[in-house]
Amino acid sequence: MDTLKVKIARDFTPTPGPRYIKEGKWSGEQFRTEKFYNIFNDAIQSNKNIIVDLDGTLGYGTSFLEEIFGGLIREHHLDYNQIVNRLQIISTEEPYLKDDILAYLKDAHEESLVVGN
């Protein structure tokens, strides 16, 4: 299976900011709406895997990561299993971020099920 790769430090900014555009520069909302959703959507449509490389930035706020990953389900209604099955995360500098991201995706998925009901 082909793979798409996105490196946040290179493809967006080395200084990720807050959750929302209104909160400041380089927000998660901005990244998700301008780039991240399109990449994931393309990958799902064309049956490709996605590698997200988190290394090389100054660090991530909790809301930034929650917004870009959780927002794919909450705002763009992408399928949780489609995301999780295709997603590969590179985070050698902060390895625990992988677990955090999977938890954000799971929480957003469970929240969407509650809202859906």
Partner 1 sequence: MKKAWWWVISIYSVFLLILGILIGKTIQRWAIIKVKTEVDTVGAIISLLSLAVTLAVAYWVASILESKKEANRVEKDLIIKRIDDIYGLIEETSIKVAVQEIDLILAVSKIKRISVNIISVIETVKQAKITIDEAHQSKIIDAIGDLKILLTNTPLIGDEHLENLPLEIREGIIHMSSDRRLQIDSEFDKIKRLIFNLELSINKA
Interacting residues with partner 1 between 3 and 42 (CB under 8 A): 15-20, 23-25
CB of 47 to partner 1, least distance (A): 31
CB of 22 to partner 1, least distance (A): 9
Least Cα distance to 17 among 85, 53, 82, 68 occurs for 68
Taking the least distance from each CB to partner 1, the nearer of 24 and 88 is: 24
Taking the least distance from each CB to partner 1, the nearer of 16 and 52 is: 16
- Which value, to the nearest 10 degrees, does the dihedral of the CA atoms of residues 32, 14, 27, 115 take? 50
Least Cα distance to 71 among 42, 44, 15, 111 occurs for 111
